[in-house]
Structure 1
Amino acid sequence: MDVQDAAVTVEVPATTANLGPGFDSVGLALGLTDRVTLSGRSEGSSDLIDVVGAGADSVPRDDSHLVLGTIRQLYRDEGLDFGPLHLSCVNQIPHGQGLGSSASAIVAALLAGKTFAQRQGADVSGIDVFQIASDMEGHPDNVAPCVFGGMNISWDEDGRWNLAQLLPHPDIRVTLAIPDTVLSTRTARDLIPAMIAHKDAVRNSARTALLVHAFTTDPSLLLPATEDFLHQRYRREAYPRTYRLVCELRERGLAAAVSGAGPAVIVFSTTDPVDVLADVARSDPHGFQVTHTQINTTGARVL
């Protein structure tokens, strides 16, 4: 098959990690998606990257682009060379907001790269997208829901990443409040202390266990289930507007949390919280973009 005729399009969802107390271990796939199309180009030309939507004005157009760079690294590791490539990205997932954009980019790259190589007749059966993407991210909390959809608990054991898939309660609705600022995950992670008080560890363990019950069985417990004692308050200097909004929403009875490393805020409910959320968010002079989204149940897929 001619590489120019072997275009592959994949769709990957945004994700939110932690859901309050489930730090680096619990994640949920969301309805915002990125679409990536990979095809070959004629010999003698160079790689080409087209980007529409989120990041179009800021992402690089060479192999430092996360998707293309990941594909190129995958092919080097597998001893493959398909010549110059054409990458087309249509992005809905905001960058630097704690919605798993880097995990989604890596998963999209691995899935598209693997499928493209497979269509060229290459043996890529040994490529495990979940394992490789989790290695690249350093933790699987965003990768697991991106690959498999729904709600996931993930952990490492004996050098391998593992996951358990959960079915979220059908009554749960998701609302996002996205500010006009961005935050580096590395910056946010560096603010968490190396040690925390034992009583906070106990509280966080209890809330994480409750989180599983609330999301799968009894959503009336979402407010206490999403209370965190491990990371959000330590990061508040990196996202003061976000932290203030989370606190105000929780005082009004809404199960709000920082989405991943932030600064987006995510709210879980069984009723429509937009009026309350918009009212509180308007108190910030810069404002937040408030939007509904769905829970994605399919995960990454080849279209």
Structure 2
Amino acid sequence: MIRVQVPATTANLGPGFDCLGMALELYNVVEFSKIHHGLVIEIEGEGSGELPRDQKNLVYRAARRVFEKTGYDPGGLRIKLSNNIPLGRGLGSSASAVVGGIIAAGMMSGASLSRREILGLACSMEGHPDNVAPAILGGLVIYTSVDGEINWLKIDLPAGLKVVAAVPDFPVNTREARENLPHMVTLRDAVFNISRAALLVAALQKGDFNLLGTAMDDRIHQPYRSGLIPGYKKVVSAARLAGARGVAVSGAGPTIIAMADGNYKLIAEVMKETFRESGVSARSIILDPNPVGARALEVI
């Protein structure tokens, strides 16, 4: 039996559109074991009532990529998914499925896949590395593509930093959220985001939380995605008043994340309540950054 744990992720962090992502200590667990024949998929937790239990399942589709690449025939396969990452909320649930399937299949087939190979396979399915890179590597990841190859740098995050995630009870389709974005931005907005993204990375490296409020501002994607999130401006303002250092949409949304070094419970309650006042049911989760990324829990 093979068990792989994959963390949730939050992408963009405000200004770092498609180039910054962070792993969080909220996990999905993928379990592979051999059976006599066929495919059996069991799902518990998030998505148990809606995710497919056949060959359309994303974990299986990712695993099949590895089996085809390595020429390995698993015969009968049992997959058990224990999901804690909310689906369609901007916390990397699909990236977790892809990464978990690739790593588990690599272990089952005996393939020694490097992190770069895992990242390449995952990106070929997800289309971009914003969630898969931190899910694999952990920490804060800066990534870019050069001639089709992903280059990255991982940064360990400062002690005391936590992420409060306010998760609405409705999903946002990532593709639809991306279609809302403009194809062109002004030079002024480009410079605005470049300066904030650079400041954000430096602030997190140095542990200067005072800079996060400015550093997490954005003009490229959040102004266009915020309209998909009822109460967005009120939730952001409430989180800041409660002590959040910086606030941003997580990935394509609708989850809103607040970075904080204190007042975590107050921030969580205020964000949840402000969503409620805007007619949106939501839950709040206080999360530590995950420093290690995906890892094997057990191999028998």
Q: What TM-score do the two structures reach when normalised by structure 2? A: 0.92
Is the alpha carbon distance of 1:262 and 1:125 closer, same or farther for their aligned partners in structure 2, counting shifts above 3 Å? closer
Among residues 39, 55, 65, which one is paired with 1:63 in the alignment?
Answer: 55
What SS does the aligned partner of 1:240 have? Answer: coil
Among residues 55, 75, 91, which one is paired with 1:83 in the alignment?
Answer: 75
What SS does the aligned partner of 1:236 have? Answer: helix
Offset at residue 286 of structure 1 (A) = 2.8
Offset at residue 68 of structure 1 (A) = 0.9
Is the alpha carbon distance of 1:294 and 1:252 closer, same or farther for their aligned partners in structure 2, counting shifts above 3 Å? closer
What SS does the aligned partner of 1:260 have? Answer: coil
Amino acid at match of 1:72: R
Among residues 247, 262, 283, which one is paired with 2:253 in the alignment?
Answer: 262
2:22 is the counterpart of 1:31: no
Match of 1:245 in 2: 235
Offset at residue 190 of structure 1 (A) = 0.5
CA contact (8 A) 2:7 2:23 kept: yes
Distance in 2, Cα, partners of 1:156 & 1:257: 24
Among residues 292, 297, 301, which one is paired with 2:295 in the alignment?
Answer: 301
Identity of aligned residues (%): 38
Amino acid at match of 1:279: V
What SS does the aligned partner of 2:278 have? Answer: coil
CA contact (8 A) 2:164 2:287 kept: yes
CA contact (8 A) 2:9 2:22 kept: yes
Distance in 1, Cα, partners of 2:270 & 2:148: 47
Map of 1:124-135 to 2, 5 A cutoff?
A: 128-135=117-124
Offset at residue 196 of structure 1 (A) = 1.1
Distance in 2, Cα, partners of 1:234 & 1:165: 29
Match of 1:284 in 2: 278
Is the alpha carbon distance of 1:123 and 1:196 closer, same or farther for their aligned partners in structure 2, counting shifts above 3 Å? closer
How many residue pairs align between the two structures?
292
2:148 is the counterpart of 1:159: yes
Map of 1:224-235 to 2, 5 A cutoff?
A: 224-235=214-225
Is the alpha carbon distance of 1:126 and 1:173 closer, same or farther for their aligned partners in structure 2, counting shifts above 3 Å? closer
CA contact (8 A) 2:230 2:280 kept: no
Match of 2:136 in 1: 147
Match of 1:51 in 2: 43
CA contact (8 A) 1:233 1:243 kept: no
Is the alpha carbon distance of 1:245 and 1:40 closer, same or farther for their aligned partners in structure 2, counting shifts above 3 Å? same
Is the alpha carbon distance of 1:49 and 1:214 closer, same or farther for their aligned partners in structure 2, counting shifts above 3 Å? same
Amino acid at match of 2:251: G
Distance in 2, Cα, partners of 1:16 & 1:219: 18
Offset at residue 125 of structure 1 (A) = 7.0
CA contact (8 A) 2:162 2:288 kept: yes
| CA RMSD between the two structures | 1.9
Distance in 2, Cα, partners of 1:275 & 1:124: 43
Mark the runs of 5 or more structure 2 residues left unpaired by the alignment: none
Map of 1:61-210 to 2, 5 A cutoff?
A: 61-118=53-110, 128-210=117-199
CA contact (8 A) 1:145 1:299 kept: yes
Among residues 207, 212, 224, which one is paired with 2:201 in the alignment?
Answer: 212
Match of 2:3 in 1: 9
Amino acid at match of 2:72: L
CA contact (8 A) 2:189 2:220 kept: yes
CA contact (8 A) 1:169 1:219 kept: no
Offset at residue 280 of structure 1 (A) = 4.8
